[in-house]
């Protein structure tokens, strides 16, 4: 029998997950929700699943409830669902909202957290999953399977989640800045913009796949294309002059610091 799934706050990430599970017989999307009726109507048409604005009603239909709302409103949304989550698996992708907080807000649920990223939209995502209070090994494996439909999945302890949010959650935005900058260099040297973007994007994708598929360290792959007195070493030294390593590393540090505060109580001052 298929496992019933409800998506509360079905934005882009929720839609990506529903789409990824479309041909997976293990799961049955029972309902998705949106804040506005018009958005719910559009979701029903686009996804071919029941959609509405009643979060509690959607949760009652499912075995697993995917919480996909902004972290700032997670408390309000969960408070409004009452006992609809009792006996359910609550799987949250809300950045900064800990499983401890989720368990306090939904004391009758078995809680897990996940942090996916936007490449899930093309099934090239990276998701990290962690169990919370009362979650079983079976719950963890089931939730891992959900995100496996839209990319790679890794299980980690929750203590790593702020860094995960910064590195893989926010990482696509940082990678796009690097990609855009490389393309700008190509344009500066005479390439048409669309060609420069294509070359930069495919080069970054290819380099990333080399790391993942070979398991080799990025430095080793870099050294293989860095010949004495060549153009690659000239470019690398220019990057080092700009302190690109420390800048990118500090980018992750700062993003992780902000991520840690996203799920806190709203500021009433």
Indicate which CATH number applies to the domain containing 30: 3.40.50.720
Same domain, yes or no, for 86 and 30?
yes
Flag whether 150 is in a domain.
Answer: yes
Same domain, yes or no, for 151 and 173?
no
Same domain, yes or no, for 134 and 70?
yes
Query: Mean pLDDT across the stretch 129-140?
Result: 95
Quote the pLDDT of residue 133. Answer: 85
Q: Is the pLDDT of residue 130 over 90?
A: yes
Quote the pLDDT of residue 265. Answer: 63
Same domain, yes or no, for 83 and 190?
no
Quote the pLDDT of residue 264. Answer: 67
Flag whether 264 is in a domain.
Answer: no
Q: Which of 156, 179, 204 is the last residue of a domain?
A: 156
How many CB atoms are located within 10 Å of the residue 124 CB? 14
Secondary structure (DSSP) of 155-216 = E--GGGHHHHIIIIISHHHHHHHHHHHHHHHHHHTT--HHHHHHHHHHHHHHHHHHHHHH--
Number of alpha carbons in the 13 Å side-chain half-sphere of residue 190: 0
> pLDDT by residue (tens digit) across 160-186?
999 999 999 999 999 999 999 999 999
Same domain, yes or no, for 114 and 183?
no
Specify whether the CB–CB gap between 2 and 24 falls below 8 A. no
The total of structural domains in the chain comes to 2
> pLDDT by residue (tens digit) across 90-114?
999 999 999 999 999 999 999 999 9
Q: Which of 114, 131, 156 is the last residue of a domain?
A: 156
Q: Which of 133, 156, 179 is the last residue of a domain?
A: 156
Same domain, yes or no, for 126 and 173?
no
Q: What is the mean pLDDT of the chain?
A: 94
Flag whether 201 is in a domain.
Answer: yes
Q: In terms of Cα–Cα distance, which of 125, 178, 134 is closest to 154?
A: 125
Flag whether 163 is in a domain.
Answer: no
Query: Mean pLDDT across the stretch 34-49?
Result: 95
Same domain, yes or no, for 146 and 173?
no
Q: Is the pLDDT of residue 132 over 50?
A: yes
Measured distance CA(186)–CA(197) in Å, rounded? 8
Orientation angle between helical segments 231-241 and 244-259, nearest 10 degrees: 50
Same domain, yes or no, for 185 and 95?
no
Same domain, yes or no, for 133 and 44?
yes
Bridge-partner residues for 125, per DSSP? 151
Residue 268: pLDDT band with limits 50, 70, 90: very low
Here the CATH number for the domain that contains residue 174 is 1.10.3730.10
Q: Is the pLDDT of residue 225 over 60?
A: yes
Flag whether 249 is in a domain.
Answer: yes
Q: Is the pLDDT of residue 263 over 90?
A: no
Strand-pair category, 64-67 with 27-33? unpaired
Domain that holds residue 59: 3-156
Same domain, yes or no, for 233 and 205?
yes
Same domain, yes or no, for 89 and 219?
no
Quote the pLDDT of residue 261. Answer: 87
């Amino acid at each position: 029998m298929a496992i019933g799934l409800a998506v509360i706050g079905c934005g882009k990430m929720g839609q990506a997950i529903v789409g990824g599970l479309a041909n997976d017989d293990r799961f049955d999307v029972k309902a998705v929700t949106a804040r506005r009726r018009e958005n719910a109507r559009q979701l029903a048409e686009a996804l071919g699943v029941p959609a509405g604005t009643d979060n509690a009603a959607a949760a009652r239909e499912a075995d697993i409830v995917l919480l996909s709302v902004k972290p700032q409103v997670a408390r309000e949304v969960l408070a409004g669902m009452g006992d609809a989550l009792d006996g359910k698996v609550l799987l949250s992708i809300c950045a900064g909202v800990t499983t401890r907080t989720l368990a306090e807000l939904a004391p009758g649920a078995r809680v897990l957290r996940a942090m996916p990223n936007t490449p899930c939209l093309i099934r090239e995502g990276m998701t990290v999953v962690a169990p919370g209070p009362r979650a079983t090994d079976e719950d963890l494996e089931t939730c891992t399977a959900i995100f496996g439909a839209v990319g790679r999945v890794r299980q980690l302890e929750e203590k790593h989640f702020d860094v995960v949010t910064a590195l893989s959650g926010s990482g696509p935005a940082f990678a796009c800045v690097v990609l855009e900058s490389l393309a700008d260099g190509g344009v500066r040297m005479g390439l048409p913009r669309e060609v420069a973007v294509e070359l930069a994007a495919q080069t970054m994708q290819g380099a990333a796949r080399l790391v993942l598929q070979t398991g080799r360290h990025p430095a080793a792959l870099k050294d293989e294309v860095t010949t004495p007195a060549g153009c690659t070493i000239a470019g690398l030294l220019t990057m080092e002059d700009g302190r690109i390593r420390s800048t990118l590393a500090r980018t992750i540090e700062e993003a992780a610091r902000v991520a840690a505060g996203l799920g806190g109580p709203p500021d009433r001052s």
